[in-house]
Structures are given as C-alpha cells and as structure tokens.
Amino acid sequence: MPQGGVARRATKIKEVRQQTQHTVLLLDAGSTLFGEALATQSQGRVVIEAMNLMGYDAMTVGQMDLVQGVEVLLARAKEARFPILSANLVGAQDRKPLLPPYTVLTRDGVRYGILGLSEPKANNWPNVSQVVSVLDPVETAKKYLPEVRARSDVVILLSHLGLEEDKALAQAVPGIDIIIGGRSRKLLPAPEIVGQTVITQVGYDGEWLGRLDVTFDEQKHVRDPRTEIISLGPEVADDPQLKALVESYSKRYPTPTPAK
C-alpha cells in the first residue's frame, strides 16, 4: 500500500503544530535529498523546496546526501531555509567543517542546541572521498559537546551513524538529551534509553513521520519520553501546497518512457 509523500507529511505536521501549545521542532537525520527519480533529476531541489515549505528546523547529512557531489550539496544548503549540519564532515585538505557543526535555536525562551554527525562512510562516493574527510564521530561529539552545552538548555544530536552507534555514542559521551537517528532505517517500536539519553528514529523513504514528546523538569532533565509512529497512508489528505509543488516538478522532469 503506498505510504508517505511530502503532501501527506505536511498535513500531519500542520495538525500537530495546530494541536500543540508548546514548542514543536521539525528535524531530519539525513540521507534525504537524493535517491528517488524526481529528487535525483532535480538535484535535490524538490526536496529542499518541500522541506522549506514544511518548515524544517534542521537536518544532518547522510551518505545519500553526497551522492551528487559536494558542490550540489552545498548549493542545496544555501537554498535551504534551515541549517544543514555536520560536525565531522571536513575538507580533506584544510580539515575545516564543510557545513555548520551545530546550531542553537531559541523557542519559547528555551535554547535548543542541535549538533549534526555523519556516518564514517558518508564520503564513500567517486569524487567525494578525495575532497571530503569524515572525522571520528565520538571524538567529534566530545569536542563540540561542551561548547554546545554551554550555549544551550537542551542538546539534541541529529545522527546518521546508525542505531547501535548512537547507543554507543550516548554511552561514551554523556550529556546529550536526545538523539534523532538514521541510517539503520529502524522503525523503532519504543524510544531507546541509554543513561539519560533518549534515542529514536523512524524507518525510511518518508513512509512515516516520527513524533517524540518529552517533558523537561526544573533541572532540564528529560522526563517521560513518548514516541509515536505517525502513519502516512492513503487515509491522510494531501496538503494542497505540497501537492502542487510535487506536480510542478513532475511536469518539469517527466518520468522517462521506454523506447518502442
């Protein structure tokens, strides 16, 4: 049964925002821009435009985001109205970060520090591995966490490392409140808890929307984490704006028909 699509996702995002009195963040854990034909043909433009319309707050970079090369990724990052983060993707020569390592978003008086980490094989593409290096994620997290923590009330890691790697990182680097993960493409039935870190991720291919609700106590410690897998099946109505966006790109990049 067909699942997913940005038009249905946008409908659910609007619903949650309308029904929620407190802060709602919209985050993506990477391998997002390329793969499906329309996204590949448009060099990721349709995805970035959709994410802009949905009001994403931040994303990190996974291996699939580098499939068309560094220049294309950086061009899409400029068009995004949200930061694309990775603390451990650096130039192979100058060792400087390719993208912002983290961002701090203030919502309703609370500062959310959001750090991005990419998997060690994120640069494993022709013409990318020569110009981009991937630093050790655990060491990179240890390096940036004090800085992010000093500027934030809540620390969120956007990770494309994989679930087991996220759990190991939470163990090795205490002080991260929440890890929104990817790469393992697990549809987690419940949040994973390692120490005081809540870890979750939600499948793949945009077929579901993940929801994590947490309460922070007076000491800003996470309490009562609840996860929800929001299905994006045919029962969800299309958001007209996102539907029109996809249709406009479909006309611009029609699916090739086989030769007779």
Partner 1 sequence: MDRRRFLQSLGVWLAGSVLWGCAPEQATAPKPVDQPTRPAATPTATLVYNVPLPPKPTGTKGSSPQAQTALPPASAGAFKLTILHTNDSRGYVDPCG
Write out the binding residues for partner 1, residues 39-68 only, by CB under 8 A. 39-40, 44, 46-47, 50, 62-64, 67
Which CB, 92 or 104, lies closer to partner 1? 104
Minimum CB distance to partner 1, residue 202 (Å)? 6
Whole-number Å distance between alpha carbons of 192 and 229 = 14
3-state secondary structure of 170: helix
Window of 70-78, 86-94, 131-139, 172-180 that interacts with partner 1 by CB under 8 A: 172-180
CB nearer to partner 1: give 94 or 235: 235
Using CB under 8 A as the binding rule, whether residue 225 contacts partner 1 is answered as yes
**Closer to partner 1 at the Cβ: 91 or 233?**
233
Stretch that binds partner 1, among 6-14, 72-80, 82-90, 91-99 (CB under 8 A): 6-14
x-or-dash string of contact with partner 1, 178-217, rule CB under 8 A: x-xxxxxxxx-xxx-x--x-x-xxxxxxxxxxxxxxxxxx
Residue 204 in contact with residue 12, Cβ under 8 Å?
no
Which three-class secondary structure state does DSSP give residue 186? Answer: coil
Q: At its nearest, how many Å lie between partner 1 and the CB of residue 259?
A: 5
- 84: β partners: 59
How wide is the angle at C-alpha 118 spanned by C-alphas 99 and 155, nearest 5°? 80
Answer yes or no whether residue 4 interacts with partner 1 by CB under 8 A.
yes
Question: Residue 123 and residue 132: Cα distance in Å, rounded?
Answer: 6
**Closest among 148, 28, 32 to 87, alpha carbons compared:** 148
Name the residue type at position 192: E
Phi, psi at 122, each rounded to 5°: -60, -30
Q: Does the protein bind partner 1 through residue 6 (CB under 8 A)?
A: yes
Q: How far is the CB of 145 from partner 1 (least distance, A)?
A: 5
| Contacts (CB under 8 A) with partner 1, residues 93-152 | 108-112, 119, 121, 124-126, 145-146, 149-151
**Closer to partner 1 by Cβ: residue 3 or 95:** 3
Strands 110-117 vs 102-107: parallel, antiparallel or unpaired: antiparallel
| β-strand pairing of 58-60 with 102-107 | unpaired
Smallest gap from residue 94 Cβ to partner 1 (A): 25
